[in-house]
């Protein structure tokens, strides 16, 4: 581009300050990723960029962001990007910059004053669509401009990566784990740390430790919302979450079916023991629309409202049915293809219903919805996991 303007190193650096690392979400100039900038007489520019690790999965994206930003600087001719890898000292400096100088990482969401809303998505039974709903709510909230993370703690299913269409592995910078991003959602899954489809058979303490690590060692950045996809049932993980993030609120997923509603209600009742707040109930697979426009209810009706009513009575404050999601092939196809239905077909029946639930979560003011269950748990069963 010959505009007569001569590019300077400072104009190039100022353009680079607008380039963010795709995973860390920070300007590359701030986190020590710009190694060098050289502007030649012929107005071509050489930029040296440090990657955090040599196996950085985002290298192509980083190069293209840098090339584009520099090429847009008036007067710049050819742009060449040369990659290098940070040494240990640089990585330590980066980790300290992002996480502070603490030896033991803390769980940011458990700190007083944390602005991240943490929603634990729970169901009594497997297969009611908990992961599908988690992923759709996450991407719908991200599409609304919120900064969103998903922690897939479903040791039996860990289907979040597939539903988000990404098999990218997290990047490790010393002890800090940087989550991959798909559809603008940062995500970490137990599945990223195991081989293929090997079932995870961790129990109690090991699982607790893994969750603690995912919450403390993962660099989530400043999230507006963190969604946790819990394994079905209550048990160990729900108790761990309650201990690790006492402020997490429970979103209960059920189908309209009586039996599913009963177990979902018990899953919600775990909150009574852990004193967590219940955010609301979502009923999935509520009806199927037939070609003539009529609705068929393969799983019966009323389960979601029943769970909401029973939980309302149990906690003594309103628990709302936040939405009913129809059974629709597009939703399953979105999950299989890795593009959630709220993005692939936002106007579909299931897409609209899910977006309406996301809207309620997005506009929710902190501390207003959900109720603190001021119940003395000490006199209840000592083994809350036995509830189910
Ligand atoms: N409303 C829906 N319409 C069509 N298919 C759906 C719907 N909800 C979920 N499914 C499909 O049902 C299957 C189970 O859903 P999903 O994996 O989300 O359930 P889950 O409760 O997370 O299960 P698990 O706890 O076993 O991991 C998936 O194939 C998903 O695509």
The domain that contains 256 carries what CATH number? Answer: 3.40.50.300
User: Among the atoms of ligand 1, which is closest to the Cα of residue 253?
Assistant: 21
pLDDT digits (tens, 9 = 90+) for 342-384: 999 999 999 999 999 999 998 654 443 333 333 333 333 333 3
Q: In angstroms, rounded to a whole number, what is the distance separating the alpha carbons of residues 324 and 321?
A: 8
Query: The tokens of 159 are what?
Result: 């289907």
Query: The tokens of 148 are what?
Result: 């969103």
Find out whether 292 and 331 touch, Cβ atoms under 8 Å.
no
Q: In angstroms, rounded to a whole number, what is the distance separating the alpha carbons of residues 186 and 171?
A: 12
pLDDT digits (tens, 9 = 90+) for 147-181: 999 999 877 777 899 999 998 888 888 778 899 99
129 lines ligand 1 (CB under 6 A): yes
Quick check: pTM over 0.90?
Answer: no
Domain boundary among 66, 99, 132: 99
Q: Are residues 277 and 243 in the same domain?
A: yes
Q: In angstroms, rounded to a whole number, what is the distance separating the alpha carbons of residues 217 and 202?
A: 19
Measured from the Cβ of residue 201, the count of other Cβ atoms closer than 10 Å reads 9
User: Among the atoms of ligand 1, which is closest to the Cα of residue 350?
Assistant: 1
Domain boundary among 82, 99, 116: 99
Q: Are residues 81 and 117 in the same domain?
A: no
Whether this model's ipTM surpasses 0.95 comes out as yes
- What CATH number corresponds to the domain at position 79? 3.30.300.130
| Tally of structural domains, the chain | 2
Q: Are residues 171 and 315 in the same domain?
A: yes
Domain boundary among 99, 131, 164: 99
Residue 388 in any domain: the answer is no
285 lines ligand 1 (CB under 6 A): yes
Q: Are residues 242 and 206 in the same domain?
A: yes
Going by CA atoms, what residue is nearest to atom 6 of ligand 1? 332
CA angle 372, 275, 158 (to 5 degrees): 110
Q: Are residues 31 and 123 in the same domain?
A: no
DSSP-assigned beta bridge partners for residue 323: 282
Output the CA torsion sign for 378, 381, 386, 388: negative
Which residue ranges make up the annotated binding site?
124-131
Going by CA atoms, what residue is nearest to atom 14 of ligand 1? 127
332 lines ligand 1 (CB under 6 A): yes
pLDDT digits (tens, 9 = 90+) for 265-324: 776 677 777 778 888 999 999 999 888 988 999 998 888 998 899 888 888 889 999 999
pLDDT at 326 over 80: yes
128 lines ligand 1 (CB under 6 A): yes
Instruction: Look at strands 181-182 and 176-178 and give their pairing.
Output: unpaired
Q: Are residues 52 and 113 in the same domain?
A: no
How far from the centroid of its chain's Cα atoms is residue 296's Cα? 33
Q: Are residues 211 and 352 in the same domain?
A: yes
Going by CA atoms, what residue is nearest to atom 16 of ligand 1? 129
Q: How many residues does the chain have?
A: 388
Find out whether 43 and 22 touch, Cβ atoms under 8 Å.
no
Q: Whole domain around residue 62: which residue ranges? A: 9-99
Going by CA atoms, what residue is nearest to atom 5 of ligand 1? 332
């Amino acid at each position: 581009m010959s505009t007569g303007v001569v590019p300077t190193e400072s104009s190039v650096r100022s353009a680079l300050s607008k380039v963010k690392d795709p995973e860390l979400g920070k300007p590359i100039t701030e986190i020590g990723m710009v190694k060098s900038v050289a502007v030649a007489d012929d107005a071509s520019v050489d930029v040296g960029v440090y990657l955090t690790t040599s196996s950085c999965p985002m290298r192509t994206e980083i190069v293209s962001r840098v090339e584009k930003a520099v090429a847009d600087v008036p007067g710049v001719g050819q742009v060449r990007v040369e990659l290098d890898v940070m040494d240990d000292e640089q990585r330590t400096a980066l980790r300290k910059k992002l996480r502070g100088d603490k030896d033991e990482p803390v769980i940011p969401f458990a700190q007083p004053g944390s602005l991240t809303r943490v929603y634990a998505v729970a169901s009594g039974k497997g297969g009611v669509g908990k992961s599908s709903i988690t992923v759709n709510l996450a991407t719908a909230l991200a599409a609304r401009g919120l900064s969103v993370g998903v922690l897939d703690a479903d040791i039996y299913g860990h289907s979040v990566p597939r539903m988000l269409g990404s098999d990218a592995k997290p990047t490790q910078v010393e002890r800090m784990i940087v989550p991959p991003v798909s559809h603008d959602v940062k995500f970490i899954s137990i599945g990223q740390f195991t081989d293929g489809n090997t079932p995870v058979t961790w129990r109690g303490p090991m699982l607790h430790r893994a969750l603690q690590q995912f919450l403390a060692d993962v660099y989530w950045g400043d999230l507006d919302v963190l969604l946790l996809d819990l394994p079905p049932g209550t048990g160990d993980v729900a108790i761990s979450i309650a201990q690790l993030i006492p402020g997490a609120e429970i979103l209960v997923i059920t189908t309209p079916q009586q039996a599913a509603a009963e177990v979902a209600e018990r899953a919600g009742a775990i909150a009574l023991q852990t004193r967590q707040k219940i955010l609301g109930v979502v009923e999935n697979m509520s009806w199927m629309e037939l070609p003539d426009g009529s609705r068929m209810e393969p799983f019966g009706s009323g389960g979601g409202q029943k769970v909401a009513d029973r939980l309302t009575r149990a906690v003594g404050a309103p628990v709302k049915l936040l939405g009913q999601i129809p059974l629709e092939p597009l939703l399953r196809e979105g999950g299989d293809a890795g593009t959630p239905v709220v993005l692939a077909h936002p106007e579909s029946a299931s897409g609209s219903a899910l977006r309406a639930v996301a809207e309620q979560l997005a506009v929710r003011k902190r501390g207003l919805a959900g109720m603190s269950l001021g119940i003395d748990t000490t006199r209840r069963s000592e083994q809350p996991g036995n509830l189910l």
